[in-house]
Amino acid sequence: MTIQEPAAALANFTHQIRVGWGDCDPARIAYTGRLPWFALEAIDAWWEHNLGGDGWFQMELDRGTGTPFVHMSIDFRAPITPRHRLICEVWPCKLGTSSIGFRVNARQDDKLCFEGKFICVFITPDTFTSKPAPHDIRDIVTPLLRPE
């Protein structure tokens, strides 16, 4: 028997960013310092999409779970300009007991512009101490996991 991978599993969440004049530097491309910001916005939007509209703001204030970053690593492949929207593909690639890893691939006009890996830990905001990923979040993330 051949297990058919469902089509939905192949399509990762994408978040679209409007790159504008103010994002660009004198080299007339998006400033490097803006690109991690874009990637983080895409991850925040990924949570919002998957947690019923709750992004980091609601996770921290309403759900009592923060997910600060402990690592980011980005390879910049091609310049980004305002001539196309930036399409950020986001997927979780690792779920540990109290950590989660994300991949973000950002493309313009179908060209890979940067790819990044990000690791966050689950914490209790009041004490800023790590904790296991909440069960409801674990249940939502697990089926969305994909290899790096």
What residues make contact with a second copy under the rule CB under 8 A?
18, 20-22, 24-29, 31-33, 36-37, 40-41, 44-45, 55-58, 60-61, 66, 68-76, 79, 81-83, 125, 128
Task: Provide the minimum distance between the beta carbon of 143 and a second copy in the complex, in angstroms, as a whole number.
Answer: 25
> Which residue, 9 or 68, has its beta carbon nearer to a second copy?
68
> Which residue, 119 or 140, has its beta carbon nearer to a second copy?
119
3-class secondary-structure state, position 53: coil
DSSP label at 5?
P
CB 106 within 8 A of CB 86: yes
> Which residue, 28 or 111, has its beta carbon nearer to a second copy?
28
Task: Provide the minimum distance between the beta carbon of 38 and a second copy in the complex, in angstroms, as a whole number.
Answer: 9
Tell me the C-alpha distance between 133 and 148, whole Å: 20
- CB neighbours (10 Å) of residue 66? 19
Task: Provide the minimum distance between the beta carbon of 120 and a second copy in the complex, in angstroms, as a whole number.
Answer: 9
Task: Provide the minimum distance between the beta carbon of 142 and a second copy in the complex, in angstroms, as a whole number.
Answer: 24
Task: Provide the minimum distance between the beta carbon of 147 and a second copy in the complex, in angstroms, as a whole number.
Answer: 20
118 sits in the region (left: phi over 0; alpha: psi -120 to 50; else beta) called: beta
Q: How many residues does the chain have?
A: 148
> Which residue, 10 or 126, has its beta carbon nearer to a second copy?
126
Element (H, E) at 61: helix 56-61
Element (H, E) at 100: strand 99-108
> Which residue, 10 or 128, has its beta carbon nearer to a second copy?
128
